[in-house]
């Protein structure tokens, strides 16, 4: 039996998405920058996709810039805020995705940008009082960069609350929304955020394509130069089939967000209940209430198989992870759990779910996990 429980790393592409993409691999092969009918047909598809994504976010199509994914979009927002918008101080947190943390660190070492890390509680929640103090004490133009939902433990911020605080202090606000795009309803007309990011493969679209939302109130220069594509915002021939697929995937995701959330939250609750009943001393990492419903990160009891647990699960045909896929190969463990002082000598495992996950798959995963945790006694 093959069980995929690593949807926070990537999701399987929906068949309907592939179907929408196929004509652009074959019939509609023109370059969208060409002025003949082959190019115009493809250009029209790009702009239709842009309008579709903007409609889902309740923003203007002019505020959507297509990128190669979430990492490029995060880089574009942060570097642009520093280079063109006068930012000299960045407030972030130690549990951000490395697409943000490494970019912020680069701004500090290469551009002498001051960096402040906001305090977090043990569940990964932002200390709002400390954020306000950092903003109140800042005399420089400031960018706040805080992810909507943590990709490892699922803890979420309130986008509207943080946006209002940033507006109160005149700060720019960037949020990495890669894990929540297509899973929560986002309204850019109501939320005071200057930059958000999306990656198609997190909501059953293709890999290698994403977008940056830039509020009409800001303008930044291209990160990639060499052509006038994307209204001079990003040079390079567009990933046509990726863009078309991403628009279709987001349209499908947003068509029934409430139903999707109810189903996937039910899977998460079911697995958590099964683990708590069958494994002694299992605890949830992160917040159990204000949390991303697609992610369940648990700390398991010590076992002789700790270092081999994910490998053994993989042999059983079960895909899960110890943290972000972007950090695989690192022997330092999870930077998120380390920042929250979670013991990483015991195994910590992230399970993440999608619309295609079933209870039968969860039953099998729990059964094999309990088997590998032996001889730790289980509760009956």
Task: Note the residue count of the chain.
Answer: 380
Q: Which two tokens stand for residue 189?
A: 């007309």
- CB neighbourhood size of 98 (10 A): 15
Is 287 designated active site? no
Q: Is 94 exposed, middle or buried (0-12, 13-18, 19+ CB in 10 A)?
A: middle
Geometric angle at alpha carbon 336, from 335 and 340, rounded to 5° = 110
Q: How far apart are the first and last CA of the chain?
A: 25
Element (H, E) at 284: strand 283-284
- Cα separation, 234 vs 226, in Å, equals 8
Radius of gyration of the chain (CA): 21
Q: What is the dihedral of CA 287, 289, 183, 222, to 10 degrees?
A: -40
Residue 194 near residue 218, CB atoms below 8 Å? yes
Q: What does DSSP assign to residue 149?
A: B
- Cα separation, 13 vs 107, in Å, equals 35
The closest of 46, 67, 116 to 87, measured between CA atoms, is 116
Element (H, E) at 143: strand 142-145
Geometric angle at alpha carbon 115, from 111 and 121, rounded to 5° = 155
- Cα separation, 365 vs 2, in Å, equals 10
Strands 195-199 and 210-214 turn out to be antiparallel
- Cα separation, 372 vs 222, in Å, equals 50
State whether residue 212 is helix, strand or coil. strand
- By annotation, the residues acting in catalysis are 326
């Amino acid at each position: 039996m093959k069980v995929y429980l690593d949807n926070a790393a990537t999701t399987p592409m929906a068949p309907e998405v592939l179907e929408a993409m196929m004509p652009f691999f074959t019939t509609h092969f023109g370059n969208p920058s060409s002025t003949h009918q082959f190019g115009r047909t493809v250009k029209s598809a790009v702009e239709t996709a842009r309008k579709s994504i903007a409609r889902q976010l309740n923003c203007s199509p002019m505020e959507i810039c297509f990128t190669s994914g979430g990492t490029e979009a995060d880089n574009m927002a942060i570097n642009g805020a520093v280079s063109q918008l006068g930012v000299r101080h960045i407030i972030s947190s130690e549990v951000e995705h490395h697409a943000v943390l490494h970019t912020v660190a680069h701004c500090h070492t290469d551009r002498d940008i001051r960096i402040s890390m906001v305090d977090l509680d043990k569940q990964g929640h932002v200390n709002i009082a400390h954020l306000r103090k950092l903003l109140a004490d800042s005399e420089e133009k400031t960018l706040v960069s805080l992810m909507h939902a943590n990709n490892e433990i699922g803890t979420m911020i309130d986008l509207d609350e943080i946006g209002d605080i940033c507006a109160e202090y005149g700060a720019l606000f960037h949020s990495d929304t890669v894990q929540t795009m297509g899973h929560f309803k986002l309204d850019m007309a109501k939320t005071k955020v200057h930059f958000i990011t999306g990656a198609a493969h997190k909501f059953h679209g293709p890999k290698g394509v994403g977008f940056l939302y830039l509020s009409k109130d800001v303008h930044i220069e291209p990160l990639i130069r060499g052509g006038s594509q994307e209204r001079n915002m990003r040079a390079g021939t567009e990933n046509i089939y990726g863009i078309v697929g991403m628009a279709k995937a987001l349209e499908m995701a947003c068509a029934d967000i409430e139903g999707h959330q109810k189903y996937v939250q039910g899977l998460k609750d079911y697995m958590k209940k099964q683990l708590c009943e069958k494994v002694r001393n299992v605890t949830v990492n992160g917040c159990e209430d204000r949390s991303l419903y697609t992610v369940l990160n648990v700390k398991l009891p010590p076992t002789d198989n700790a270092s081999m647990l994910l490998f053994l699960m993989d042999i059983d045909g079960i895909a899960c992870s110890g943290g972000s896929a972007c950090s695989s190969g690192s022997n330092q463990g999870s930077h998120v759990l380390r920042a929250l002082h979670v013991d990483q000598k015991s195994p910590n495992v992230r399970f993440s779910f999608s619309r295609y996950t079933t209870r039968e798959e969860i039953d099998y995963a729990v059964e094999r996990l309990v088997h590998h945790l032996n001889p730790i006694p289980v509760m009956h």
